[in-house]
Each structure stands twice: as C-alpha cells, then as structure tokens.
Amino acid sequence: MSAAIQLLNQPITDTEPFEKQFDKQLNNVSVFEMAPEQRLRRALAYITELQSEVRALREELVQAERSVTHHQQLLRNAMLREQELRAQLVKEFRI
C-alpha cells in the first residue's frame, strides 16, 4: 500500500534528463584502479590458466586422433575380411 502511495506522490514528469541523473549518481562513487603489479599478476595467472587448458586440449586431440586411426584400421581389416569371406563363398558355390 505504501508503494502505491509513493508512486502517486511522485511528479508525472522528471525535471532533469535521465543522463544528468545518472551522472549525479556516479559522482558519489569512488573509482579504485588496480596497481599495475596486480594487473600484471592477474594477467599472468590468466595466461598460465589458458596455457594449461591449451595443453589439455592438445592431449585430448592427440588421443582422439589415435582413436580415429585405430578405428580406421579396424574398418579396413573388417572390409578385407568381408572380401575374403565373399571370395570364399563364391568358391564354395562354384564347386
């Protein structure tokens, strides 16, 4: 109920543009910047994290490539075996 009363008591139009109201709010806030050493430390930590992630992704890629190569070899072996069995079947039917 009090929220509704407050809304009714507010002026219908603002006398100041929105941008000026925003500027006033920011003037009360202190801006703290990190020291260059802190930024450098954070950047180096982030770089180290990214490098370890790249290493992990490369290891996964190598494993995936090995797996694909292995499956390709199994597929070739299966195709050769299928051809051998077909040839053997044809020989049995001719006899």
Give 41-69 pLDDT, tens digit per residue: 999 999 999 999 999 999 999 999 999 99
Structure tokens at 58: 């490369």
Structure tokens at 20: 């000026």
For residue 30, give the DSSP letter.
P
50: domain range? 39-95
Q: What residue has token string 């020291």?
A: 35
Handedness of CA 59, 61, 67, 72 (dihedral sign): negative
Q: Which residue type, as a one-letter code, is found at position 26? A: L
* 14, part of any domain: no
Distance CA 22, CA 30 (A): 15
What's the number of domains the chain is made of?
1
* 58, part of any domain: yes
* 76, part of any domain: yes
* 53, part of any domain: yes
- Which pTM was predicted? 0.52
